[in-house]
Amino acid sequence: MISVTTFQDLVSTPFQGDLNVACWSRNLKGDFSEIVNKIELTENIVELDTDTLNALQLSEQGQIAREILLNDLRLLDAHGASPVLNLIKEYEKDDFFFPTDVYSYHVDRSPIPTSTFLCTYHGASSDVLPNSQTEQKINIPEIRCELKQLYDGPEEGFDSFLKEHFFDLHYRAKENAQPINLGIGHLWRLAVNHPESECLPCVHRAPIEKDGKTRLLLIC
């Protein structure tokens, strides 16, 4: 992991070898909870667009928080990313012996070179794990055996089955693993599994929401 002080350094730092996480470390001002409390959650996840943000009647501290959100969206949009700002009550969970929801440690995959960007402004924040402290679930014998029982096809198609259902993207933390919490206000860039990658993809997971506290998350 590397810590940087500017957005330009965040997006231009090359991911190679063991380096697959970069953090633009920030101590943000403003009242993000005011923005969260102004929005009525009608679903578990609500996307906030710029029109919605600009329409909010906010205090001075709320306005400072709003300008930070708008600026982060502008920065990422100008970089060519497609940022989304979400209010999150909770994500959908899998009721399955092998969950593939975002609460499971996983990596992201893309057919083209890209990165995942994350910033939590309010609520619980995500965790990442060093790759050396994880094991790919499909390589754990007892899990692989159960997956083979699900698969109905020729042996040579099993690996394609794992990839098609995203099983190959999920990991288990080793004993005594030490997750790194991404904290509040920092903008993170995570390495993604793509054909031109020169490093391992970053293993991460969404947090279990605390005490019903709504998350305000930027992601792309």
pLDDT in tens, 86-109: 999 988 888 888 888 999 999 999
pLDDT in tens, 120-140: 999 999 999 999 999 999 999
pLDDT in tens, 4-14: 999 999 999 99
pLDDT for residue 132: 96
Buried b (16+ CB within 10 A) or exposed e, 79-100: eebebebebbeebeeeeeebee
Of the chain, the percentage scoring pLDDT greater than 90 comes to 85
Residue pair 219/115 in contact (Cβ under 8 Å)? The answer is no
* Residue 16's pLDDT band (cuts 50, 70, 90): very high
pLDDT at 163 > cutoff 90: yes
pLDDT at 41 > cutoff 80: yes
pLDDT for residue 95: 82
What's the mean per-residue pLDDT of the chain? 94
pLDDT for residue 77: 96
User: Helical H runs in 39-179?
Assistant: 50-55, 60-79, 141-150, 158-164
pLDDT at 56 > cutoff 90: yes
Tell if the pTM clears 0.95, that is, is over it: no
Average pLDDT over residues 176-192: 97
**Number of helices and strands in the chain (H, E):** 6, 12
